[in-house]
Amino acid sequence: MDEYIDLLNENGKKTGQTCLKSEAHKKGLFHASVHIWIFDKHKNVLIQKRATNKDTFPNLWDVSVAGHISAGEKPIISAIREIQEEVGIIISEHDLAFIGTSKKKVKHHANLIDYELHNIYMCKTNFKITSLKIQHEEVSELKLIHIDKLIKEINTENNHFVPHGNDYYNFVLNKIKQHNC
């Protein structure tokens, strides 16, 4: 879905300009997104398989929920909205813990340059995977995986995960491991 998003400067601050997400991706304009890592009290992490029709990293396993921040929207509000849209879990601001940001620029091809500041949250909550409602335009499959197994799988060659990079995965997964459940 195309939507208006805020543009950012090199320091991650809003410039006051907006454009369509498609234009930002076509021109490689810096913008913001949210990544939310959802897990339960047993440290089972919810991961999603990106839909086949996605223009970036189709059919690869990824963060529990992710999405662009709409123009004028606060990151935490975007996180709450994206969780409800993609997996059907209703949460509040108090359920989310902001853990940091990650800046990434990926040139997929000449007309798709994704230059994003990921606002990263973790969310410990109780849910039954069978009760989740998948947004099929974004997600083709969901699964729970224990944090230790997830770390092992991400660190194998030829894994089937979005290539966020070792620093990103190590940072996020260590935060989840350290969380007192």
Per-domain residue ranges for the chain? 4-178
The CATH number of 4-178, from 1.10.10.10, 3.90.79.10, 3.40.50.360, 3.30.360.10, is 3.90.79.10
Indicate the average pLDDT of the chain: 96
Contact (CB, 8 A) for 80 and 121 = no
Tens of pLDDT, residues 72-124: 999 999 999 999 999 999 999 999 999 999 999 999 999 999 999 999 999 99
pTM: 0.96
Residue holding tokens 């969901």?
142
- Could you tell me the two tokens for 24? 């930002």
d(CA 94, CA 63): 20
- 167 membership: H or E segment, kind and range: helix 166-178
Task: With cut-offs at 50, 70 and 90, classify the pLDDT of residue 180.
Answer: confident
